[in-house]
Amino acid sequence: MERMYLDHAATTPVRGEVLQAMLPYFSEIYGNANSLHWFGRRAACATDDARDGVAACIGAMPSEVYFTSGGTEADNWALCGAARANAAKGRHIVVSAIEHAAVLAAAKQMEAEGFEVAYAPVDADGRADLSRLEALLRPDTTLVAVMAANNEVGTLQPVSEISALVRPRGILLFCDAVQAAGVLPLDVNAPAVDLLSLSAHKFGGPKGVGALYVRSGVKMGKLVAGGHQERGMRGGTTNVPAVVGLCAALRLVREEQAQTAAHLAALRDAFVGRVLRGAEGAALSGAGAARLPGIAHLTFAGLDGEAILYSLDLAGVAASAGAACSSGSLEPSHVLRAMGMPDALARSGVRFSFGKENTEREAERAADILIEVVARLRALGGARA
């Protein structure tokens, strides 16, 4: 059976060029980047080059880039590290209601530490509501967290407008760019942000490595106590192959950004157009807002999203509930809830996310399979109890 992978928002395959760039650092160049001898210096050289490369790709200085074990760690560090380090100024932070669990769980942790957290609402398309966000800002607000693009629905957030709103008041802006990095231009100065997180496995790099940008001068707490790695902020022997892979993947993504975005948008639009025409009750979530080119979140009123996913998988199409239900729980997604979507409709949602290796033929075939699945489930009386 031909299998189609339409779950690139969950993770992407490591690109061949990236793997080749990483391979020597597993075996030939295995030194500890902190060792002073020749073996260590070669590893340190690769780490420096990776830091320079990541910095250049996002318009930062190398001294502002810290490597982490991925997006979750970068998000936790950004939120908790900045909130704690700036607590003397205030203990109030604002987090958009549709952030990834890595940010929301960190916010909960800060609440447990006695911080006050306000959740900024979004409109029906999943876009942060500027005036309501502004109304949440207080003199003791130290940090606002708003992602560049949502991972479930793909909605782009008004980061420029939010930057203009919060930074002149001396409030730090943290942007989770984990989903945006593979497809949108990234520049920490346009729009200006103070903290920005990345994760390599979302754009053709390896899993378990990411980066946090911290603008020079921003007060930040340590993440991991240990050695002097990452300028004393995050202890632990540097994962040299991983940071080399992160940099190689990001460089490729930057070079190919416009072309990739156009390709993904064409696939998504062909797919969505066909599904909306052919599948009864299909609706595109966030349709009124600008969205990431590769993500399409669709609902199928009256059906169960998980039943659709299982049927798609049996037919060779890999998609995702888009965290519509976190596994094992029947709780509908916090993102769809924040958009005001009724729970029953949210439970019918499926996320399709395209990648650069997908073809137009695949997009059309996947749409035809989905149309067939929806028709079959409806014929079976697949309405939810």
Binding site for ligand PLP (CB under 6 A): 70-72, 75, 100, 102, 147, 151, 176, 178-179, 199, 201, 210
For the bound state, the minimum distance from the C-beta of residue 329 to ligand PLP, rounded and expressed in Å, comes to: 17
User: Catalytic residue at 57?
Assistant: no
CA 5 from centre of chain: 18
For the bound state, the minimum distance from the C-beta of residue 324 to ligand PLP, rounded and expressed in Å, comes to: 14
Q: Which residues contact 60 (CB under 8 A, 6 or more apart)?
A: 54, 188, 213
Side chain identity at residue 158, one-letter code: P
**Residue number, 90 or 176, with CB nearest to ligand PLP:** 176
**Residue number, 198 or 367, with CB nearest to ligand PLP:** 198
For the bound state, the minimum distance from the C-beta of residue 126 to ligand PLP, rounded and expressed in Å, comes to: 13
Tokens of 283: 């609706």
Side chain identity at residue 61, one-letter code: M
Strands (E), the chain: 4-5, 65-68, 92-96, 116-120, 141-145, 172-176, 195-199, 210-214, 282-284, 295-300, 317-318, 350-353
**Residue number, 92 or 201, with CB nearest to ligand PLP:** 201
Q: State how far the Cα of 214 lies from the Cα of 195, in Å rounded to an integer.
A: 5
For the bound state, the minimum distance from the C-beta of residue 185 to ligand PLP, rounded and expressed in Å, comes to: 17
Cis peptide bond N-terminal to 191, omega within 30:
yes
**Residue number, 202 or 215, with CB nearest to ligand PLP:** 202
**Residue number, 153 or 315, with CB nearest to ligand PLP:** 153
Q: Which residues contact 79 (CB under 8 A, 6 or more apart)?
A: 93, 95, 103, 106, 107, 110, 143, 145, 174
92-96, strands of its sheet edge to edge: 65-68, 210-214, 195-199, 172-176, 141-145, 92-96, 116-120
**Residue number, 162 or 270, with CB nearest to ligand PLP:** 162
Marked catalytic residue, from 57, 175, 247, 325: 325
Q: First-to-last CA distance in the chain?
A: 32
For the bound state, the minimum distance from the C-beta of residue 108 to ligand PLP, rounded and expressed in Å, comes to: 15
For the bound state, the minimum distance from the C-beta of residue 250 to ligand PLP, rounded and expressed in Å, comes to: 14
Question: Which residue number is nearest to ligand PLP in terms of Cβ?
Answer: 71
Question: CA geometry: angle at 244 spanning 12 and 73, to 5°?
Answer: 65
Q: Which residues are catalytic?
A: 325
